[in-house]
Chains A and B, each alone.
Chain A
Amino acid sequence: MKRSRWWSWAGLFLASLLIFAVPSVGSARPGGGQSYSGSRSSGSSGSRSSGSSGSRSSGSSGSRSSWSNSSSSRTTYPSSSSSSSSSDGGILPLIVLLVLVVVVVVLWKGQAGKGKVWSTLPIAPQRLPSARKRLDALKQFDPDFSMVLFEDFLYTLYSRAHEMRGAHKLSRLAAYLDEASTATLAGMSPGVKRVDSVVVGSMLIDAVSGTSIAQPMTIVGVQFETNYTETNAQGVEQSYYAVEHWTLRRPTTAKSKPPGKLEIFGCPSCGAAQPEERDNNVCAYCGELMHTGRFDWRVTEILVQNRVTRGPQLGGETPEMGTASRTIIAPNLATWMQALNAKDPSFSFSAMGERLKLIHREINKAWSARDWKIARPYVSDQFFQMQLYWMETYKRAGLRNITEGAQVTRLELADISCDRWFDAVTVRVYATGLDYTIKDQDQSLVSGSKSKPRPFTEYWTLIRGAKVTRPPDTSAQCPSCAAELKVNMAGSCEYCGAKLSSGEFDWVLSRIEQDESYSG
């Protein structure tokens, strides 16, 4: 590199030499035409003479013009010089330019070998893994941790906490709600007699910290968008739409409870259910103090961000965002795919895609017809409750959102994750269809288009019990008893009672995330 730099300077020097050396060549041309400007064809009539420093001479048609300067007389004369003088001068600028080209090429080559720029920190990925994904890191200390179960726990805890504040029995959840959060809940409606119909419309884990062994406490922030009904002392019912942010903590190395123990809200240490009436916070079975936050998640802060009697604004036009963006594919997707195939050799993405298309068709049918029974066998309990919330919210606003002719055009596998209890597969769904909102009263169009299909993409996460190893089903039969598929609101088969919405038999839809919010 140093060598090439020397060459470049040498090139420059050479160029300078040429510039100053060539004039002597020019002046020595035959005829000694110091001030001569000649046309290649004859003719002086067309020449223009300038008395100052130069002259432009042009010949007759087809002749070429040239410029010359005399340093001695500064006078130009018409002439009939030979073309040789002109050609001498003509090549000189080319030589100079050629030298410049050589210098540039040499420098360019020297530059190409130069080291790269650097920093003591790599460029951060544009999108951080989502908080949910980061929380998955807990599995390294807590093999029983399952995101599906944790979200079930959050959902149930929220509902239970509000029901308990209505019953004035928040102390029964002291192991899971600290004093400050208990006070916040109790202070919402001090005179309330009952809280029921608690429906969580959306639940977003928006903050996670402390998932490494170096940090003793894991902290999780969750935003709930909910609806519940309060009944006051006079028996008057009032529905509220609320947005609350809850902060939960637990020791990073704490152990999760298995499915079935989470909804009990018993002793956070041994999981045993506690008697309704008790004098202290000591577990009746294992003798541990239950309200220390040493064994399980405990809510340490509740912020009520919004609590109003009117539902959220619906029917606005929201443009699709991120539809054209690249699919966010998990970096370890291939590894997880191998793990899933090793566990269940019958698993194939194409077969699962057929199941997903069936689910897509059925939930769109259910949504447009406002008949959630159609979709109940294909969605998780949580998803069902959330969609029910939005359906009811539309109904209360006197609106109806219709998706017509919706069809999946493409599927792309984005992520797979497995834990002790569940497998989860995230697929980017490319779909199109009519999407519009009308008024219930007069069927007039509020938003969207009844004629122009709207292409969109979403990330769908389907879950299935970790022990299930059977090909995805697309028939309308109960996978447990093979009877006609009829499911009650709890997600159980009306004939055999098998719980179909838990993923114990087949893949069920657990989440839908939009492009702009999905971050892997």
Chain B
Amino acid sequence: MAMKFLLTRDARFLTTEAKDRAAQTVKAIEAKTSAEVVIAVRKDSATPRHADYLGGFLISFVFLAFLLFHPADFDIELFPLYVLGAFVLGTLLTSFFPSLRRVLAGRQSLEDAVRKGAAATFLELGVTRTTGRNGILVYLSLLEKAAYVVTDIGLDAELLGPDFERQKMRIGEAMGTLEPSTVWAAIEALSPYLERAYPRLADDVNELPDEVHSV
């Protein structure tokens, strides 16, 4: 049961319910502020192929040890093929286990991938295309269990204050649990800081639509 939980909980971010909840969260925030919020969910920020290869190497190594130390006798000419086969299958196998990939990829590599993925998504989605350059991207990456918030140049970090920065960190912590409701709540908690610095104006125009789009 624990294994099932481990393997399927990221999928809860990909359900219709999660998407609807995210759109509601964006609407709730934008009802209070002139900032334009966008949420993006990605399965991973970059394919951690090095982690897969490392997994493949470890499995092929175990397999080689098995061939060497097992009491049965094996055709030695086939050893290279066996080891190669174990490496390929081990690489593929590793790629299906997010937890294993995270461990093998290393924290720094994952953090770099999330940062770059968030920056690329920010441009890809055109979050900059607002009159006041006041877009915010909340980027959630499931494999890395990480969040990254990118704000456009129209939103002054000093004006938003250190509490806003702390709340950004809390979204990252919430992603660590991979519990959607916790994550949506953490994102919605950005609104008081945004409201204080950039309150919604009477003639506010929703420049970035809030509907969910699959990529």
Contacts and interface: CB of A to CB of B under 8 A. Distances in A.
A120 B23 contact: yes
Contacts of B93: 100, 103-104, 107
A285 interface: no
Interface in B69-89: 69-79, 82, 85-86, 89
Interface in A192-209: 209
B66 A19 contact: yes
A47 interface: no
B26 to A, nearest CB: 5
Contacts of A100: 85-86, 89-90, 93
Given A9-B3, A101-B89, A103-B93, A118 B72 contact: no
Most buried by B among A67, A69, A212: A67
Contacts of A120: 22-23, 26, 37-40, 209-213
Contact of A121 (B67, B86, B127): B127
A117 B125 CA distance: 13
B125 A68 contact: no
B67 A123 contact: no
Contacts of A118: 14, 19, 40-41, 212-215
A124 B126 contact: yes
Contact of A54 (B63, B68, B75): B68
Contacts, number: 180
Interface stretch (B4-12, B153-161, B191-199): B4-12
B41 A23 contact: no
B129 interface: yes
Contacts of B75: 64-67, 86, 89-90
A97 interface: yes
Contacts of B19: 118
A6 B76 contact: no
Given A67-B79, A119-B215, A120-B22, A85 B73 contact: yes
Given A117-B14, A121-B127, A124-B125, A88 B41 contact: no
A466 to B, nearest CB: 33
A86 B73 contact: yes
Size bracket, chain A contacts: 35 or more
Interface in B39-64: 39-43, 63
A26 B72 contact: yes
A1 B12 CA distance: 13
Contacts of B26: 120
Count chain B CB atoms within 10 A of each CB in A100, A116, A125, A212 and give the residue with the most: A100
Contacts of A97: 82, 85-86, 89
Contacts of A65: 75-77
Most-contacted residue by chain B among A1, A66, A118 (CB, 10 A):
A118
Contact of B68 (A37, A67, A108, A115): A67
A123 B215 CA distance: 8
Contact of A214 (B4, B89, B203, B213): B203
Contacts of B214: 116-118
B69 A69 contact: yes
A111 interface: yes
A46 to B, nearest CB: 13
Interface in A66-101: 66-71, 85-86, 88-90, 92-93, 96-97, 100-101
A230 B79 CA distance: 89
Given A103-B93, A117-B43, A118-B41, A34 B71 contact: yes
Nearest to B206: A214
B15 interface: yes
Contact of B121 (A36, A66, A85, A119): A119
B171 to A, nearest CB: 15
Contacts of A8: 96
B92 interface: yes
Interface in B120-166: 121, 124-127, 129, 131
B164 to A, nearest CB: 20
Most B CB contacts (10 A, CB to CB) among A68, A111, A121 go to A121
Contacts of A37: 73
A89 B205 contact: no
A215 interface: yes
A69 B67 CA distance: 9
Contacts of A33: 73
Given A67-B79, A116-B14, A121-B125, A111 B96 contact: yes
B119 interface: no
Given A69-B69, A92-B70, A121 B209 contact: yes
Given A1-B11, A97-B89, A124 B71 contact: no
Interface in A212-237: 212, 214-215
A93 B80 CA distance: 12
A287 B18 CA distance: 61
A215 B207 CA distance: 12
B29 to A, nearest CB: 11
A101 B90 CA distance: 10
A22 interface: yes
A89 B74 contact: yes
B208 A121 contact: yes
Contacts of B129: 124, 128
Minimum-distance CB pairs A-B, first 6: A124-B126, A115-B14, A26-B72, A89-B72, A68-B73, A119-B40
Given A69-B71, A93-B66, A123-B124, 8 more contacts: A23-B72, A25-B72, A100-B93, A114-B14, A117-B214, A119-B38, A120-B209, A122-B209
24 contacts: A5-B4, A8-B96, A26-B70, A26-B73, A65-B77, A66-B75, A68-B72, A86-B73, A89-B70, A89-B74, A90-B73, A90-B78, A97-B82, A97-B89, A107-B96, A114-B14, A115-B11, A115-B15, A117-B214, A119-B38, A119-B213, A120-B22, A120-B23, A121-B209
